[in-house]
Amino acid sequence: MSKDVAITPNPMDAIMASRPRTLYEKIWDAHVVETRDDGTALIYIDRHLVHEVTSPQAFEALRVAGRPVRRPELTLAVPDHNLPTTPRRDANGAILPIADPQSAAQLAALEVNAPAFGIRYIPATAKEQGIVHVVGPEQGFSLPGTTIVCGDSHTACHGGMGALAFGIGTSEVEHVLATQTLLLQQSKSMEVRVNGDLGPGVTAKDLIMHIIGQIGAAGGSGYVIEYRGAVFERMSIEQRLTVCNMSIEAGARAGLIAPDAVTFAYLKGRPMAPAGADWDAAVAYWRTLHTDDGAAFDKSVVIDAATVEPSVTWGTSPEDVVAIGGRVPDPQDFADESKRVAVRKSLDYMGLTPGTAMTDVPIENVFIGSCTNSRIEDLRAAAAVLKGRHKADNVLWAIVVPGSGLVKAQAEDEGLDRIFTAAGFEWREPGCSACLGMNPDKVPPGERCASTSNRNFVGRQGPGARTHLVSPAMAAAAAVTGRLADVRLLGVTSNP
């Protein structure tokens, strides 16, 4: 150190307890190991999820420095990003090799590193395997009020459980493995309050896309968002995870929804959730995790749910959102010159002409999956649209990638896989897949994809791929009609 830094354990504990606090402040305060004079806090990390892509360099650095993992039981490792979604065993049950040697080496590294450092590892062939952000809540590893990190920006997802969850880089992965803490500056707090009810056929995905369109891709930078309002209280955990998942697309490192009876009911009996007397103690604590009356947010955004329609993106930033009844915007409509330049570039990349109705945009690919929308409710919503229908002839490739092996098994129990395959979809093994196009699942250059994932960046789903973000029901509607379509006009009334 260049100078001595005084360190005070849990400053102002007593004062903190008496002043009204936001949910974010409560979770933050409960995890401060100590605060440095420069304001940086050492924050305890309760849960750490590790996958194959952002961890090898961290494990290697630990090995070189001869450092152990401080609390191996607080980390859970599972491969997802780079794993092919084709069958993992042959007809005789033997494990199939991974064709791409680099992917195989990266996956093998995790398989070796996790047990070598004493970390629980879920293998690619286990039924519990899946996308980290699906597996965490599903296993009861992600709990309300905990701090959760992962070398993946969509860690914000776990905020749907009432956890303070955020993505970290590989150096921070190493830091958490070695010390179970992170050095952090407290973020500002933003309330996104949604009043009223969502209309029929409007989903959690449409709402969060609408919110991002309103606050912008950088609007949440430096903030932790808390989503508030009866709409969120009525949501299932799956829907809350979808909302919090995309907080990062508004620039916010984390998003939160206060835990409640829905959260507790979801968690009870999950393999890694507290049980017995622990359960009662945990629930008693979780009930204190809400923003106090009178607590102040640094910023407030109010949204009227009635104005939200099924949403689609037209550009290459998640803020490029329009209602399905809308049109491709004209660069001239934007006040800011740098945004005009960005819009021109986006439209050029997307091959779209200003003024085109979104429902006139044809689609060649449909991807249903990703940590945003690959849980059982998402698959049910898509299947409800596809039941008794078939994808349009111009849709060349349509795949469903369940978020985990357990989601896949449940969907198969409910017969959803047969609805998908009858509609012309491929039914795949769990993983990240075409969300980031790292494994062989890619959208061909110049083709469009109606995708339930979270990023429409240039080249995200494969070089030259053109992504339109939508909800699962809207992806199914696009598959059936061969173009972006308003699912509300397809007359879907019941569950499959």
Partner 1 sequence: MQPLNRVDGGAIPLGLKNVDTDIIIPAKWLKTISREGLGAGAFETLRAEPGNVIDDPAYAGAPILIAGDNFGCGSSREHAAWALGDLGIRVVIAPSFSDIFSGNAVKNGILPVVLPQDAVDRLMDIARQGEPITVDLETLTVTTPYQDRFAFTLDPFRRDCLLNGLDEIDLTMARDAAIGAFETTRTSDQPWLMRGTAI
Question: According to CB under 6 A, which residues from 51 to 70 bind ligand SF4?
Answer: none
Under the criterion CB under 6 A, does residue 152 sit at the interface with ligand SF4?
A: yes
Say which residue the tokens 């629930």 belong to. 283
Of residues 377, 208, 191, 220, the one with CA closest to residue 301: 191
154 binds ligand SF4 (CB under 6 A): yes
Q: How far apart are CA 15 and CA 371, in angstroms?
A: 39
Q: Write the interaction track for ligand SF4 spanning residues 315-354; mark x where CB under 6 A is met and - where it is not.
A: ----------------------------------------
Q: From the list partner 1, ligand SF4, none, pick the one residue 131 interacts with, judged by a Cβ distance below 5 to 8 Å according to partner type.
A: ligand SF4
417 counts as binding partner 1 under rule CB under 8 A: no
Nearer to ligand SF4, 123 or 482 (CB): 123
Among 24, 50, 54, 380, binds partner 1 (CB under 8 A): 54
Q: List the structure tokens of 213.
A: 């369109």
- Give, as ranges, the residues between 158 and 217 that touch partner 1 (CB under 8 A): 166-172, 174-175, 178-181, 183, 185, 187, 217
- Angle between the 132-139 and 405-413 helix axes, to the nearest 10 degrees? 70
User: Does residue 454 touch ligand SF4 according to CB under 6 A?
Assistant: yes
Binding of partner 1 by 265 (CB under 8 A): no
What 3 state SS string does 207-227 have? Answer: HHHHHHHHHCCCCCCCEEEEE
Contact 168, 150 (CB under 8 A): yes
Contact 455, 462 (CB under 8 A): no
Closest CB to partner 1 among residues 309, 320: 320
User: Quick check: 57 binds partner 1 (CB under 8 A)?
Assistant: yes
Residue 126 binds partner 1, judged by CB under 8 A: no
262 binds, among ligand SF4, partner 1, none (CB under 5 to 8 A by kind): none
225-263 b/e with 16+ CB inside 10 Å = b? bbbbbebbeebbbbbbbbbbbbbbbbbbbbbbbbbbebb
Among 107, 148, 435, 476, binds ligand SF4 (CB under 6 A): 435
Stretch of 13-21, 95-103, 192-200, 353-361 lying at the interface with partner 1 (CB under 8 A): 95-103
Distant-in-sequence, close-in-space partners of 488: CB < 8 Å, separation ≥ 6: 200, 201, 310
Number of residues that bind partner 1 (CB under 8 A): 94
Answer for which of 436, 477, 478, 480 binds ligand SF4 (CB under 6 A) is 436
Which residue in 178, 184, 159, 224 sits closest to 74, CA to CA? Answer: 178
Residue 46, binding choice from partner 1, ligand SF4, none, Cβ under 5 to 8 Å by partner class: partner 1
Cα of 147 vs its chain's centroid, Å:
16
Sheet arrangement for strand 41-44: 7-8, 32-36, 41-44, 181-184
Query: Alpha-carbon distance 125 to 137, whole Å?
Result: 19
Please check whether residue 50 is in contact with residue 80, taking contact to mean a CB–CB distance below 8 angstroms.
Answer: no
One-letter amino acid at 234 equals: R
**x-marked contacts with ligand SF4 along 376-415 as a string, rule CB under 6 A:** ----------------------------------------
Q: Should residue 79 be labelled a site residue for partner 1 when binding is judged by CB under 8 A?
A: no
Window of 3-11, 261-269, 294-302, 406-414 that interacts with partner 1 by CB under 8 A: 3-11
Residue span 298-317 as binding mask against partner 1, x where in contact by CB under 8 A, dash where not: -------------------x
Q: By CB under 6 A, is residue 131 in contact with ligand SF4?
A: yes
Per CB under 6 A, which of residues 72..111 are in contact with ligand SF4? 80-81
Q: Which residues contact 238 (CB under 8 A, 6 or more apart)?
A: 375, 376, 377, 378
CB of residue 377 vs partner 1: minimum separation in angstroms?
26
Contacts of 321 (CB under 8 A, 6+ apart): 209, 210, 212, 213, 311, 312, 313, 314, 469
E runs forming strands in 290-368: 299-304, 311-313, 321-323, 365-368
* Residues in 13-42 at the binding interface with partner 1, rule: CB under 8 A: 33-34, 36, 38-40, 42
Question: What residue ranges bind ligand SF4 (CB under 6 A)?
Answer: 80-81, 131, 133, 152, 154, 370-371, 432, 435-436, 453-454
